[in-house]
């Protein structure tokens, strides 16, 4: 494990900290349950969960970022364990530990402020740094390596689909033209290429915003991993277990919304068929609401402005006594 002193001094404010932990309903017997923090980050949610967890409770946290893993080393608590991997490996991690059911799962999606603020990570166009963008720098292909080898058509598709960028064709064409002259290895290079390719700009938004978002999401397979994690979390939730997800852009939120809505919806049978009420299909989850940051939180932490938290509860199968 990396030494905790290696963590850079970048600050992170946990978005919807109290609201997310409240949504897990750590009360009464549930305080002795097993919970998952799928994105440890700098540990804001995990530390508050541990404060409210009972003596026999257990918290399993995940993160791909080596700095987050180092930060987690400062938590000296027998009830806590950190896994250096994606939350997409949830099912495998639970199986390895003999855990069959969970009382709650919290996923705080996107990237943290320290990742954005550290130019060496390559996530931001606001400061020059190596074009990396990997959440886990110990494995996988960097953004620079991907842009150096990928086809123009695939680059265009990624920028259009993951960044919702209407100038994806022009940007991809410009990237391929520039790499034929010199390697694209820094965030400043990429930001300049995008700025020259985008003809009109959204008010208050840097032209590189959507492209950087798209490449980051693709490099880290964020949407694909989210779909896997949601399915695994649902399979392992105990009756009345809570699923709490904080999203920061529309692509993530759409996946979460559709997943929860799908589990809360049931197909309506043909009314002409003689079906007893007890035999009617039952929803598998109950939607408990959507929460946005307060005006005060957004004022104190502008990066919270796009956050949306959705909460759902696993229902008991029909015929199971509670």
Last residue of a domain, one of 171, 203, 219: 219
* Binding region: 43-45, 63, 87, 108, 115
Distances in Å between the alpha carbon of 174 and those of 181, 190, 253?
11, 10, 31
Same-domain check for residues 267 and 283: yes
Same-domain check for residues 196 and 68: no
Residue 119: inside a domain: no
Last residue of a domain, one of 188, 219, 250: 219
- Over its C-alpha atoms, the chain yields an Rg (Å, rounded) of 22
Query: For position 147, which CATH number holds?
Result: 1.10.150.170
* Binding region for S-adenosyl-L-methionine: 43-45, 63, 87, 108, 115
Residue 118: inside a domain: no
C-alpha 209/C-alpha 200 separation (Å) is: 13
pLDDT for residue 6: 39
Same-domain check for residues 140 and 229: no
C-alpha 305/C-alpha 110 separation (Å) is: 13
Same-domain check for residues 237 and 108: yes
Residue 155: inside a domain: yes
C-alpha 246/C-alpha 39 separation (Å) is: 10
Q: What angle do CA 319, 320, 321 make, to 5 degrees?
A: 110
Last residue of a domain, one of 172, 191, 219: 219
Strands (E), the chain: 34-37, 58-63, 80-84, 102-108, 237-247, 285-291, 308-314
Same-domain check for residues 227 and 109: yes
Strand partners, 308: 247
Residue 308: inside a domain: yes
Query: For position 263, which CATH number holds?
Result: 3.40.50.150
Q: What is the tally of structural domains in the chain?
A: 2
Residue 287: inside a domain: yes
Same-domain check for residues 200 and 284: no
- This prediction's pTM: 0.88
Q: Is the alpha carbon torsion for 161, 162, 168, 173 positive or negative?
A: negative
> To which residue do tokens 């009109």 refer?
200
Same-domain check for residues 264 and 182: no
Residue 257: inside a domain: yes
Same-domain check for residues 308 and 285: yes
- Tens-of-pLDDT digits for all 322 residues of the chain? 333 333 344 456 789 999 999 999 999 889 999 999 999 998 999 999 999 999 999 999 999 998 899 999 999 999 999 999 999 999 999 999 999 999 999 999 977 666 665 665 766 767 789 999 998 988 899 999 999 999 999 999 999 999 999 999 999 999 999 999 999 999 999 999 999 999 777 777 889 999 999 999 999 999 999 999 999 999 999 999 999 999 999 999 999 999 999 999 876 665 666 665 555 668 999 999 999 999 999 999 888 899 999 999 999 875 444 4
Phi, psi (deg, nearest 5) at residue 19: -65, -40
Same-domain check for residues 143 and 262: no
- State the residue range of the domain holding 294: 4-113+222-314
Residue 321: inside a domain: no
pLDDT for residue 9: 45
Residue 154: inside a domain: yes
Same-domain check for residues 276 and 157: no
Same-domain check for residues 9 and 37: yes
Same-domain check for residues 232 and 299: yes
């Amino acid at each position: 494990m990396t030494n905790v002193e290696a963590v850079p001094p970048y600050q992170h404010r946990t978005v919807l900290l109290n609201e997310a932990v409240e949504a897990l309903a750590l009360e009464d017997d549930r305080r002795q349950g097993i919970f998952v923090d799928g994105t440890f980050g700098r540990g804001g949610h995990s530390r508050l969960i541990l404060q409210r967890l009972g003596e026999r409770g257990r918290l399993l946290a995940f993160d791909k970022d080596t700095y987050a893993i180092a930060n987690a080393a400062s938590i000296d608590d027998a009830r806590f364990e950190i896994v250096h991997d994606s939350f997409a490996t949830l099912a495998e991690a639970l199986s390895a530990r003999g855990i069959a059911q969970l009382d709650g799962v919290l996923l705080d999606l996107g990237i943290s402020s320290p990742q954005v603020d550290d130019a060496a990570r390559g996530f931001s166009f606001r400061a020059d740094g190596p074009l990396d963008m990997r959440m886990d720098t110990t494995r996988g292909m960097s953004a620079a390596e991907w842009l150096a080898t990928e086809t123009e058509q695939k680059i265009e598709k990624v920028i259009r689909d993951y960044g919702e960028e209407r100038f994806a064709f022009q940007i991809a064409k410009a990237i391929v033209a520039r790499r034929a002259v010199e390697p694209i290895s820094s965030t400043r290079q990429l930001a300049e290429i995008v700025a020259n390719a985008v003809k009109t700009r959204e008010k208050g938004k840097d032209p590189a915003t959507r492209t950087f978002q798209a490449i980051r999401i693709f490099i880290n397979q964020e949407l694909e991993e989210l779909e896997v994690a949601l399915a695994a979390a649902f399979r392992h939730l105990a009756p009345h277990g809570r699923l709490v997800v904080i999203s920061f852009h529309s692509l993530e939120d759409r996946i979460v919304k559709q997943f929860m809505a799908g589990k809360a919806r049931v197909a309506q049978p043909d009314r002409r068929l003689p079906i007893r009420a007890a035999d009617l299909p039952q929803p598998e989850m109950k939607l408990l609401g959507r929460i946005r940051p307060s005006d005060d939180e957004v004022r104190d932490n502008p990066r919270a402005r796009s956050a949306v938290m959705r909460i759902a509860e696993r229902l008991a199968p029909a015929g199971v006594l509670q």
